[in-house]
Structure 1
Amino acid sequence: MNPLRIYVLLISVFLGIYAHSQTKSNDSVPVKNPKHQLFIGVDLLNPVAGFFADKKNYSSFIAYKIKNRWLAIAEVGYEKNIYNKNNWNINAKGVFGEIGINYILTNNYEKSGEGFYIGGRFGYSPFKQNVKKYPLKGMNPEGQIQIIGEGSLPEANVSSGWLEAVTGAKVQIGNSPFYIDFMVRPKFLLFSSKQKNVDNLVIPGYGKDKGSANISLFWGISYKLF
């Protein structure tokens, strides 16, 4: 996705949330602030996008306010995806998990838990990879490297881990216990266990394509238990 579009979308969402929170703060009645808060939520963006793409991704999370502006986060999910370009055809599927923290930047978090936040996550995925096709390269009579054939590998268990930064916002839907969550999540690959030195081109929870950095969006809904 074009980074400019991501940040334009992010700024638009943040401005809407800010206006919404200002309206609520003017109309609100002082109440006792809860010491702890617990949210459960699900991603809506990826399941909807899955109707139009090879990527099938489903995830949920739990967030617990441990102290003041700090929340502990745990996320679990499942993804199935395909990498099919540049003479490669790889299928990958498996679970992924992430743990981390959020720090709320705005002040209206005390009553409702909503506001802008930043955070970090450590992610890990043990998954199955099936390399259906990969290019075999050799040297032609002119001394140039070129593709001379193709090979394949059986399904194998591999894994990858990554770090990610989080910038997001949470806004309450009216006075209900439901909230809209939006996040932009740059990700940085830390390590991978590989099959016969083949790069993991599809990693559940991280993304696809070769590279040490990626970026994803999260748009979902959460429910405040207390």
Structure 2
Amino acid sequence: MKHTLKYFFSAFFLCMGLMLQAQEVKKDSVKPKKERYGVRVGADLFKLSRSFYDKDYKGIEFSGDYRLTRKYYLAAEIGNENKTTDEDQLNFTTKGSFLRLGFDYNMHENWLDLENMIYVGLRYGISTFSQELNSYKVYNPNPYFNETSTIAVGEKYSGLSAQWVEAVAGMKAQVFNNIFVGFSIRLSTLVSNRKPSGFDNLYIPGFNRTYDGDFGFGFNYSVSYFLPLYKKQVKMDQKKSDEAKAAK
């Protein structure tokens, strides 16, 4: 959690600084008559970096979005995780893949030809995975010399799955031509959860740790590349409306 908060605040202030700097540089320029539409693809740097400093975690996630209208984007994420969780009573390993599909709505009014985003969105997530119970400790209400018994198990539960809905909020800032950095936070709730007999899915790939049974929290810090496909003319009355809002 400490590492997550550290990445969250670092990403937030970095994106805010980049967006404000870009606004100041270009706000006195001439606004183009067309806006670009296309596909943006990227990767989650948080999962990649965590794989280096956390010996119990290996993960990767790729993301993409497609601009449908001036404000709405189709969005998707796909990835894989391998995580060993060591708790007071349990040690278990989770392996699996996940897919999230949904949309984003850009609330940010860009100056001129900027393409930054401050967005909210929704996703529907699906995960298939396995759990392996490595060991557990037997609870002893009257321990002698603080004695506890650890039992190695190695029992594997395959064919597990989960589905969930999540609300997303985040930012994306253009740092170079067609290159964006950004972050997002996610609050999730389970819709379905296929559990193994005698065990619980305490960690689900793509959903993260389960809290109070059905709720989860996630975070990512990404870099992405925009592939422009075509341009669309911006209506004059729409331009004037956007300029008036941005000038306030």
- Counterpart residue number, 2:24: 23
TM-superposed CA distance for 1:9, in Å, is: 4.7
Superposed CA RMSD: 2.8
What per-residue deviation string (whole Å, max 9, x for no partner) do you get for residues 151-207 of structure 1?
743342211122221111111113x11111211122223321011041101211111
TM-score w.r.t. length of structure 2: 0.76
Equivalent pair of 1:33/1:110 in contact (CA under 8 Å): no
Distance 1:41 1:134 in 2: 39
TM-superposed CA distance for 1:31, in Å, is: 1.9
- Tell me which moved more, 182-191 or 17-26: 17-26
- How many residue pairs get aligned? The number is 219
Equivalent pair of 2:15/2:181 in contact (CA under 8 Å): no
Q: Tell me: CA distance 1:44–1:8, structure 2 relative to 1, closer, same or farther (3 Å).
A: closer
Structure with higher Rg: it is 2
Question: 1:196-207 maps to which residues of 2 (within 5 A)?
Answer: 196-207=197-208
Distance 2:23 2:226 in 1: 21
The gaps in structure 1 that reach 5 residues or longer are 141-146
TM-score w.r.t. length of structure 1: 0.83
2:104 alignment partner AA: N
Question: 1:1-226 maps to which residues of 2 (within 5 A)?
Answer: 1=1, 8-9=9-10, 12-13=13-14, 15-34=16-35, 36-53=37-54, 54-108=56-110, 111-134=113-136, 150=151, 152=153, 153-174=155-176, 176-208=177-209, 210-211=211-212, 212-226=214-228
The gaps in structure 2 that reach 5 residues or longer are 143-147, 229-248
Q: Tell me: CA distance 1:55–1:109, structure 2 relative to 1, closer, same or farther (3 Å).
A: farther
2:66 alignment partner AA: Y
Q: Tell me: CA distance 1:11–1:149, structure 2 relative to 1, closer, same or farther (3 Å).
A: closer
Equivalent pair of 2:8/2:219 in contact (CA under 8 Å): no
Equivalent pair of 1:34/1:110 in contact (CA under 8 Å): no
- Tell me which moved more, 30-39 or 131-140: 131-140
State, as a whole percentage, how many aligned pairs show the same letter.
Answer: 26
Equivalent pair of 1:83/1:209 in contact (CA under 8 Å): no
Q: Tell me: CA distance 1:138–1:190, structure 2 relative to 1, closer, same or farther (3 Å).
A: farther
Distance 2:8 2:181 in 1: 18
1:70 alignment partner AA: Y
- Counterpart residue number, 2:231: none
Distance 2:157 2:215 in 1: 25
